[in-house]
Structure 1
Amino acid sequence: MTHSLPKFDFDRVFSADGEVLRDGERVKQLLTTTEVEQVRQQAYSEGENSETAKAAGVQADAVRAVASQMQLILARLQTESETLREESAQMALAAAKKLAGAAIAANARDAIAEFCTRVMKDLRGEPRFNVHCAEAIAGPVAELLEKTAADAGFEGAVIVRANPDMTGADCRLEWGSGSIERSQEDIEARIDALITDWLAAPDDDDTATDCAPDADGAQAATG
């Protein structure tokens, strides 16, 4: 009886560099130097990738924390800016009132004459124009108005009356169909209104907080 034999049947198997990989039924239990290096490189690469990922995560967390703190700081600065803005406005208001009052008081005669001239231009047909002002400047105002009334084209009579209750450049103008009054309180009220309107206007720096980086943007920047 004939038995078929395997075409090839080597008990001992060698690697390309001559190392025994298999000796009969025994399989090599040790790795070659090349294989050891390959395993080492793979392990190192995996470890390095893992550490890089951890470092990136830590960096992203740090950037998010910084962005959050920046938003808090900007919000606080905005509040402090508004407070400083209002305080500065109040200081400016006080200074403006003082300067306006001093300037008008120092030039009360001219201020009243200029005010009267502007009103007279619209009242040229009136037969009489009465001017009430402080006693201390009634005479000088009367002298000045004689000329300014003619320059304004007012042909009626201009009568200046001293009022003991008035001070500075306070005055009241009266004619046949109406009257108008101006006082230091009116001037200060106008200054108050200007400051109030200025405070109500949006601040140019209000958009600063909108430019603060958010956490998502910060994380994307690390990518």
Structure 2
Amino acid sequence: MTQTAPIVSRPFAFDTEFDDAGTVVRASTFRPMKRAYMPAEVEALVAQARLEAREAALAEADSIRAMGLAAIGQALSDAMPTLQQVAQSHREQSAELALAAARVIASSALERMPQGPLQSALETLGQEIDATPRLVVRASGLDDEARTKIEAVAADAGFTGAVAFRDDPSLPAAAFALEWADGRADFDPGAVAERLSTALRSALAAEAGHGEPLSPRSSF
């Protein structure tokens, strides 16, 4: 037969301790629950509960707002590389479109006035060529009318020497080369367009964060 240990029950437990003289050494921690409240106490408890609820709601709202802002910041951070790529692509396409439009306009202008760049160069170089005795003009399509206009522009620019013309069919339309005693100047519309395109690509590359030039050509 198995024997079990007896169960000792303590119907009452008092945690107040007294010394031999009856003085309280440690007071009881037991506090009876209050069963009734005065109306003023009820109002105070309700006001306190409302205040605590409001503070808890505000704290939760701040936490939600902080999490929302963090989520927005993370989304923007994740989207930034794509946005930068889209913006860069838009700038490049806009620049290419502007260059294409400029080429069309320039080509149309040069067809109407093929000697326009040559006349502008003579006007700009007036002080440099005014003392030289001879000026050589190389270009294509130099008919009598074009030669007469060039001589008139050179004279208006202050040049009093002789103008020698060299018709060079290998030069494209509106291209020319000027040679005098101590200098030279030339113009090629295709080379100018290429330099502008290269300069623009280099500027776009620098704006994108890598500023190395994209193989610029050194032509005048």
Higher mean alpha-carbon deviation, 170-179 vs 82-91, is at 170-179
Match of 2:21 in 1: none
| Alignment RMSD (CA, Å) | 3.1
Is the partner of 2:115 in helix, strand or coil? helix
Counterpart Cα distance in 2 of 1:84 and 1:197:
16
Conserved? CA contact 1:133–1:172, under 8 Å: yes
> Which residue identity lines up with residue 123 of structure 1 in the other structure?
I
Given the alignment of the two structures, is residue 127 of structure 1 paired with residue 133 of structure 2, yes or no?
yes
Is 1:160 aligned with 2:151?
no
Q: 173, 189, 193: which is aligned to 2:194?
A: 189
| Offset of residue 200 of structure 1 | 6.2
| Whole-angstrom distance in 1 between the partners of 2:86 and 2:152 | 55
Once residues 77 and 92 of structure 1 are traced to their aligned partners in structure 2, the CA distance between those partners, rounded to angstroms, is 22
The partner residue of 1:52 within 58, 70, 81 is 58
**Alignment of 1:174 onto 2:179:** yes
Structure 1: stretches of 5+ with no match in the other structure: 1-26, 204-223
Higher relative contact order (CA closer than 8 Å, sequence separation 6+): 1
Q: Distance in 2 between matches of 1:30 and 1:148?
A: 115
Instruction: State the one-letter code of the partner of 1:177.
Output: D
| Contact kept? 1:142, 1:159, Cα under 8 Å | no
Q: How many residues align?
A: 176
Listed as ranges, the matches of 1:128-143 within 5 Å are: 128-135=134-141, 137-143=142-148
Give structure 2 stretches of 5+ with no counterpart: 1-31, 209-220
**Matching residue of 2:68:** 62
- Counterpart of 1:111 (choices 117, 129, 136) is 117
Shift of 1:179: 2.5
The aligned counterpart of 1:83 is 89
Do the aligned partners of 1:96 and 1:191 also contact (CA within 8 Å) in 2?
Answer: no
Amino acid at match of 2:94: S
Please say if residues 176 and 186 of structure 2, whose CA atoms lie closer than 8 Å, have aligned partners that are also in contact: yes
Asked if 1 retains the 8 angstrom alpha-carbon contact of 2:130 and 2:159, the reply is yes
Measured after TM superposition, the shift of residue 96 of structure 1 is 1.4
Q: Counterpart in 2 of 1:6?
A: none
C-alpha deviation, 1:97, in angstroms? 2.2
Kept in 2, the 8 Å contact 1:109–1:140? The answer is no
- Cα displacement (A) at 1:156: 1.1
CA contact (8 A) 1:97 1:191 kept: no
Q: In structure 2, how many angstroms separate the alpha carbons of the residues matched to 1:88 and 1:175?
A: 42
From the two aligned structures, give the one with the greater helix fraction.
1
Supply the distance in 2 between the matched residues of 1:187 and 1:28 (Cα, whole angstroms): 97
| Distance 1:87-1:110 versus aligned 2 partners, 3 A rule | closer
Deviation at 1:184, TM superposition (A): 1.6
CA–CA distance in 1 between the matches of 2:126 and 2:55?
90
CA distance in 1 between counterparts of 2:181 and 2:47 reads: 108
Contact kept, 8 Å, 1:138 with 1:160, in 2: the verdict is no
Amino acid at match of 2:148: E
CA contact (8 A) 2:122 2:157 kept: no
The answer on whether the counterparts of 1:97 and 1:188 sit within 8 Å (CA) in structure 2 is yes
Which amino acid in structure 2 is aligned with residue 122 of structure 1? E
Tell me which residue corresponds to 1:31. Answer: 36
